A and B are shown apart, each in its own frame.
Chain A
């Protein structure tokens, strides 16, 4: 696939040649999952929790610096959490427990802690996942998941998804252009009468393409397994580099609970 292909899935990837880009994908997957686990395990109501969050953020920014991922890319990644920001902002108002006055508003103390920690934890792990997606392209992620023994059927569904998202997305876009050039505006519930059948024909087109691909693969001798290249072996050094992120996070957590 040349530049410009891959559509929505490839848009998340920032090409580069940093040490983070070069790490084996499965080590990065384990590292980011480990980091997210440590972040989630941070106790909500501990007094030192905000310091720990700051420490985690510093770790992520260091990785972003090494990977040369621009701050703008990280900020765009944060857009997905907007609905939860609203929820977190509401929490201090609706939570129970002792109340405290902030700027003349009566807020729940536990709600403040919980809302703040939800926000911090969600932001940190969205940043970590954004870093992963920015330094690992979709096919490398697939290879990583395969190395981590994801069941074959899931790996294959995933590989077709990565290959055909652009094609189906293109169909979706063409249908949208066709609709809008005929004066369609999806502003009211009546729009469903148009969008429903459009989605229906999208399914038929996708599925029929799947059938054609399937037959083409069978006629080329497909047996249910895609030939994979040689499996890259990650050495101790690669693992040590990748795992330095979650281990540093564990150190921050341990430091917090010992000193706090």
Chain B
């Protein structure tokens, strides 16, 4: 669910647009360590993946369904800067082609779903990864907690923005409670899917999980001793 036009006043929208522009500029600079211009195809396909996965709905509660935001997941998979760029492009396509999320609210959406969600998700992930043991379970747990927290924090920041520049005079207490409550549930779904996706990728192509590079160990090629005899027989 993206913020549409008219939800926040013009000043707040302009402010978040400036924040988003600064964040994307930083990401463009930072992503040079992760990707160069020539590896744009990979970033492009990651954006397509985020876009496709957002179309997969999962049941939340009371018959409602939610979908993955994918910020934390993308950050662990391809690195935070590239993830910001991918999410920005996905949000642009959703606003321009599907009118999902307002054009003047694009800055707000990039700030919330791109910068805040990825910042929180990846920050928590890095913090926990440093503390937890360097194993597959430790990695998955840190990513799961990061993904879980990224959703309610993004919702909280939205409530904050709404308090600053919302067009309605609403008591912020109940709104905060409702928003955070719902998004805790959505965050659980986000965490479960993030862990499941990362687990699947770690099993098949662990080298594609950028946040899990430390788990890869260089292995030397060695003949399996028990097969040596069998090959000799085949060669005959």
Contact = CB atoms under 8 A, between A and B. Distances in A.
B40 A157 contact: yes
Interface in B155-213: 167-171, 174-175, 189, 192-193, 195-201, 204-205, 208
Interface stretch (B87-95, B112-120, B126-134): B87-95
Interface stretch (B51-59, B219-227, B228-236): B51-59
B141 interface: no
**Residue from B90, B97, B167, B175 with most neighbouring chain A CB atoms (10 Å):** B97
Contacts of A141: 96-97
Nearest to A216: B41
Given A33-B104, A152-B37, A159 B44 contact: yes
B4 A165 contact: no
Contacts of A214: 38-39, 41-42
Contacts of B189: 192
A207 B206 CA distance: 13
Given A125-B104, A201-B200, A114 B45 contact: no
Interface stretch (A57-65, A89-97, A227-235): A89-97
A161 B96 contact: no
Interface centre among A110, A153, A157, A164 (most CB of B within 10 A): A157
A219 B204 CA distance: 27
B48 to A, nearest CB: 5
A161 to B, nearest CB: 5
Main secondary structure of the interface of B (DSSP, over half): helix
B48 A158 contact: no
A184 interface: no
A81 interface: yes
A207 B51 contact: no
A207 B199 CA distance: 16
A202 interface: yes
Contacts of B28: 151, 153-154
B103 A95 contact: no
Contacts of A108: 169
A203 B77 contact: yes
Contacts of B6: 39-40, 117-118, 120-122, 124-125
Interface of A: prevailing SS: helix
Name, among B45, B95, B98, the residue most crowded by chain A CB atoms within 10 Å (CB to CB): B45
A159 to B, nearest CB: 7
Nearest to A215: B41
Nearest to B209: A203
Interface centre among B4, B43, B175, B208, by most chain A C-beta atoms within 10 angstroms, is B4
A37 B87 CA distance: 23
A255 interface: no
Contacts of B192: 192, 196
A164 B56 CA distance: 17
Contacts of A186: 57-59
Nearest to A193: B196
Contacts of A111: 168-170
B5 A122 contact: yes
Contacts of B4: 81, 84, 121-122, 125-126
A248 interface: no
Given A138-B93, A160-B47, 8 more contacts: A40-B5, A125-B103, A130-B99, A151-B28, A161-B93, A200-B200, A207-B42, A214-B41
Minimum-distance CB pairs A-B, first 4: A196-B196, A160-B44, A200-B200, A121-B6
Interface of B: 1, 4-7, 9-10, 13, 24, 28, 31, 35-49, 51-53, 55-59, 68, 77, 85-86, 88-90, 92-93, 95-100, 102-104, 167-171, 174-175, 189, 192-193, 195-201, 204-205, 208
6 contacts: A12-B98, A125-B104, A196-B195, A201-B200, A211-B41, A224-B40
